[in-house]
Amino acid sequence: MSGSIVYGLHAVRAVLNRRPQDVTRLSIAAARDDARVRELREFAAKQGVKATSAAAEALDQETGGAAHQGVVAEVRPNAPLDENTLLDLLTATPGPALVLVLDGVSDPHNLGACLRTADAAGATAVVAPRDRAAGLTPVVRKVAAGAAETVPFAQVTNLARALRDMKGAGLWIAGTAGDGEQELFKADLAGPLAVVMGSEGRGLRRLTRESCDFSLRLPMLGAVASLNVSVAAGIVLYEALRQRGAKVAEIKPLR
């Protein structure tokens, strides 16, 4: 198979909207003929992509039994950004950049949820290490519900060096930790900023934390000691969004 697999109504529509020329195959379960699927077929046709019918069992096998909603597309993979193209993006960004950095998040569901949150909060990019971390797998694309096609995603060889490069581009680097020196809601997040979130269970690595300009902590008033990384990322990104006075665009659901 030459391309990446994207499945699920939202993820497939997003790639049809953003990169229809890269969709090499669109398969829809023959048993599905509801309004949402008919609308997707019509949208695909307008984008120059013809949908073909397939047995649901074949789609189950192709996606490893994932919840594909009867819709699977094969797409020429879009290459993640690297260190140089990330800096080019940050330099060209109008207004203060807002970057989400994930230090070794390996769970594809967490990466997908972080991409979705980053898209909703208007983040400039999501950055992750190239090794020992989740990449843009079909599961990530499905969980991201289209955000994997809209949010620039960079994979870097050396995260500490990438953070230094972002500092050179004018960004402040804010790490997040349970013992962070500043409470989130009292910190200044209005300027160019990279928010660094740690991996599941381990938090920030030592070199990563040493690369941060300051650290943030979320107020924890209950019995639990920590939050899921995607939940914590959402809280921090939306606080940065609030401080910038930005209006969140209304997202129209797929009918």
Same domain, 219 and 101: yes
Q: Which of 67-81, 159-173, 225-239 has the lowest mean pLDDT?
A: 67-81
- Judge whether residue 250 has pLDDT over 80: no
Beta strands in the chain (DSSP E): 4-7, 23-29, 51-54, 71-75, 98-103, 125-129, 153-156, 172-176, 182-183, 193-198, 214-217
Count of domains in the chain? 2
Confirm whether 252 is domain-assigned. no
Confirm whether 145 is domain-assigned. yes
Which residue, among 228, 238, 247, has the nearest Cα to 100 in the 3D structure? 238
Give me the pLDDT at residue 252, please.
35
Question: 95 near 190, Cβ under 8 Å?
Answer: no
Residue 16 CB burial class (10 angstroms; 0-12, 13-18, ≥19):
buried
| Encoded tokens for 187 | 């910190």
Residue 92 CB burial class (10 angstroms; 0-12, 13-18, ≥19):
exposed
Helix (H, G, I), strand (E, B) or coil at 19: coil
Q: Which of 75, 96, 111 is the last residue of a domain?
A: 75
Q: Which residues contact 106 (CB under 8 A, 6 or more apart)?
A: 132, 133, 134, 199, 200
Same domain, 175 and 88: yes
Same domain, 57 and 121: no
Task: For residue 251, name the pLDDT band (cuts at 50, 70, 90).
Answer: very low
**Mean pLDDT for all residues in the chain:** 87
- Judge whether residue 42 has pLDDT over 90: yes
Confirm whether 254 is domain-assigned. no
Domain span at 213: 83-243
Give the residue with greater pLDDT, 245 vs 114: 114
**Cα separation, 9 vs 141, whole angstroms:** 11
Average pLDDT over residues 70-79: 83
Q: Which of 60-64, 188-192, 246-250 has the lowest mean pLDDT?
A: 246-250
Give the residue with greater pLDDT, 65 vs 39: 39
Give me the pLDDT at residue 50, please.
94
**Cα separation, 27 vs 12, whole angstroms:** 10
- Judge whether residue 89 has pLDDT over 50: yes
Q: Percentage helix, strand, coil, to 5, in the chain?
A: 40, 20, 40
Average pLDDT over residues 6-29: 88
22 phi, psi to nearest 5 deg:
-95, -5
pLDDT digits (tens, 9 = 90+) for 114-164: 999 998 898 999 999 988 888 888 888 888 877 787 789 999 999 999 999
Confirm whether 189 is domain-assigned. yes
Which CATH number covers residue 62?
3.30.1330.30
Average pLDDT over residues 201-205: 82
Average pLDDT over residues 183-208: 90
Task: For residue 22, name the pLDDT band (cuts at 50, 70, 90).
Answer: confident
Task: For residue 3, name the pLDDT band (cuts at 50, 70, 90).
Answer: low
- Judge whether residue 254 has pLDDT over 80: no
Confirm whether 66 is domain-assigned. yes
- Judge whether residue 193 has pLDDT over 80: yes
